[in-house]
Structure 1
Amino acid sequence: MFAFFTSALGQIWWSLPYPEEDCTGRVIIVSGANTGLGREAARHFTRLNAAKVILACRNIDKAEDARHDIEATTGRSGVVESWQLDLSAVDSVKAFADRVAALDRLDILVNNASVLCFEWSLAEGHETMVTVNVISTFLLTLRLLPVMRRTAMRFNVTPRVVIVASDASFLTSFPERHAENIIQRLQLNQQYKDRYNVTKLLQLMGTRELARACDASAKSKVIINVLNPGFCDTELFRDVPAPSSLVIRFGLAIFGRTPEIGSRTIMSAAFAGDDTHGRYMTNCRMHSWPSLIDGIEGKRLCERFWRELLQVLDDIDPDVSKNI
């Protein structure tokens, strides 16, 4: 907990730029957009004249509440749409991706949805946080890459994939890295208190390897980056048990970011240039990787995890890795 607050405390010195980029004509998907950072990012995209902003949410009623709120505050109607997406269920991910494939274009995919669990549970045969934060996030991304590449060719633009991670990725010792198969080891109810941190590190690892794989494929350019939004006052912490919840509430009151301020990190990544491709960002700037995945050994670790992840994804959705 001390390391977490030490990391979060540094954010108070940063002033994050207010988003002003014109989004005219763009079609944008934000997962987990019914609340918090996702809702505020969707509000910014709508305000900035996007043609379509899709709120991809598990609870469609909450998504509709968010849609009405965004329309009321931006004065724009007929732009925001609520689509169901449950990342704990791969059939939902596939159905959502099939629906997106019918769109004329997709310019920006914001993979914002994540879960922080405090009780052990499985979803689709894997621990729930691993399924939602990692497996389904990358399954969705790979399923949507063809749509984004088609957009790049038809409209002469560079689409973006943004993954919302966390500086919690720096706080794990990642003992599972020593296992013969990392993803299989994460199916076990071991070191569970560290699992969220591990999934956030895996998001960084997956982003870096996906960017490299896309470059190697020599297909139409899609910029892929991953970011840390900082310590933000969102519903992510709603299930934190006492006494930790009291400490977190105190920290949020003193130096936590509002959802709107935190969402600026998403917007910065979504509008960033080629130099952020395959990179990690914090405070709207590029940042170094955690030491565990830096250097030669870190590169080998990322490559090994990526091979494992692609195997899992191909088992779920045969040959989806060919979309890369």
Structure 2
Amino acid sequence: MNNQTKIVLITGANSGIGIEAAAQFAEAGYGTIILACRTLQKAETAQKKLVQRVGKDVFEGLAIDVAEKDSALTAAKELQSRGHQLDVLVLNAAMSAGKKPLFNADGIEMTFASSLIGHHVLTMSLLNNGQLVPDAHIIIAGSEGARNDVPGMSVLDFNKFAVKHFDGNLEKAHEAVWKIQSPYKFKALDTYVTSKVYVAWWSEVLADKLPAGMIVNTVSPGSVPDTNFARHQTGLMKYMMPMMKLMPKSMGMAGSVAQGARRYVDAVQLGANTNGKFFGSPPRKLVGKLQVQTTPHFYDQKNQQASWNMLTRLTGISLN
């Protein structure tokens, strides 16, 4: 396969899985890899490291704070000015807050904002501006924790929460969650895995809206302790993540940064019959062969649509 004319954009490309994915795409022969980072300085630092590793400079920097819609709009305009048409869009960046919630400029908790606000705005802008090739592949980072089968992480029961506190109004319930409004109680890890349910829903809805030929998938890189995921964590989790890499491989609880990034590269080969689907590890495992995740709440169409409606309202953008 000739990838020399293909362009890949990766968010969160300055460290961890993001920078490793950039290296692997370059090694696979992709002609241009756009390093989308919070600042151009971070992108430039990553670029130097990558050139040293792969022996060629096929990288460009792009500033984007994926938690802020205005930053994503600015990044989209910059891409438009460069005349790029992207073949692969890897929406990798995300964060998990510490003991106390953090909020973006619009009052949305940062875990949700970093997972979807900027990524949604960037993706919609690229689609509306015709900056994705006809067979483009969109990949967004998921997590096995969203299945609700990982000890210590609990996904919100959205329907029960909406019925109990919002007379069944799902959109109002979702907004309360995203803004950490009463009665939703913030717990960092629960909020993180809950945010990844929204990611799976987003992919499912977007798949139905994309032009024929384009594909979107949620792809979990698996459990990768050697990243900055736990940088905002406190207490037990801050120490538990590094310990996970010491567990035997047979337990299926931890993988390498290279393995996590490889999942993104491999996902580009997924066909049209997988459009919208969430790929991750086998049940009750955090690493292993990629397979479609079948947990029923990922396919709750009422919540899919309600969360999409909320997201387009909060960001002010959808497909034209």
* TM-score normalised by length of structure 2: 0.83
The one-character-per-residue Cα deviations of 1:88-144 (angstroms, maximum 9, x if unpaired) are: 222111010111123242111100000110121211221111211122221211111
Within-5 A mapping of 1:1-324: 22-77=2-57, 79-102=58-81, 103-118=83-98, 119-123=100-104, 124-147=106-129, 151-152=133-134, 158-171=135-148, 172-177=154-159, 178-179=161-162, 180=169, 181-186=172-177, 187-189=179-181, 190-193=184-187, 194-214=190-210, 219-232=211-224, 233-254=226-247, 255=249, 256-283=254-281, 285-294=290-299, 298-314=300-316, 320-323=317-320
Q: Displacement of 1:149 after TM fit? A: 6.1
> In structure 2, do the counterparts of structure 1 residues 321 and 174 end up closer, same or farther at CA, with 3 Å as the change threshold?
same
Q: Displacement of 1:288 after TM fit? A: 2.8
Q: Displacement of 1:176 after TM fit? A: 4.2
Q: Displacement of 1:147 after TM fit? A: 4.8
Q: Which amino acid aligns with 1:287?
A: V
SS at 2:20 equivalent: helix
Q: Displacement of 1:302 after TM fit? A: 1.4
| Contact preservation (8 Å) 1:26, 1:50 | yes
The one-character-per-residue Cα deviations of 1:243-291 (angstroms, maximum 9, x if unpaired) are: 3322222112224222111101111112322122111112553313322
Q: Displacement of 1:173 after TM fit? A: 3.4
SS at 2:304 equivalent: helix
Distance 1:148 1:57 in 2: 22
**Structure 1 unaligned runs (5+)?**
1-20, 153-157, 315-319
> In structure 2, do the counterparts of structure 1 residues 63 and 253 end up closer, same or farther at CA, with 3 Å as the change threshold?
farther
**Structure 2 unaligned runs (5+)?**
149-153, 163-168, 282-288
| Contact preservation (8 Å) 1:159, 1:221 | yes
Distance 2:142 2:51 in 1: 27
| Contact preservation (8 Å) 2:89, 2:139 | yes
> In structure 2, do the counterparts of structure 1 residues 131 and 274 end up closer, same or farther at CA, with 3 Å as the change threshold?
same
SS at 1:241 equivalent: coil
Distance 1:29 1:143 in 2: 14
How many equivalent pairs are there?
285
Q: Which amino acid aligns with 2:269?
A: F
| Contact preservation (8 Å) 1:24, 1:48 | no
| Contact preservation (8 Å) 1:149, 1:220 | no
Q: Which amino acid aligns with 1:321?
A: S
| Contact preservation (8 Å) 1:105, 1:147 | no
RMSD between aligned residues:
1.9
> In structure 2, do the counterparts of structure 1 residues 122 and 205 end up closer, same or farther at CA, with 3 Å as the change threshold?
same
Tell which deviates more after alignment, 68-77 or 128-137: 128-137
Distance 1:253 1:148 in 2: 46
SS at 1:305 equivalent: helix
| Contact preservation (8 Å) 2:230, 2:237 | no
> In structure 2, do the counterparts of structure 1 residues 22 and 192 end up closer, same or farther at CA, with 3 Å as the change threshold?
farther
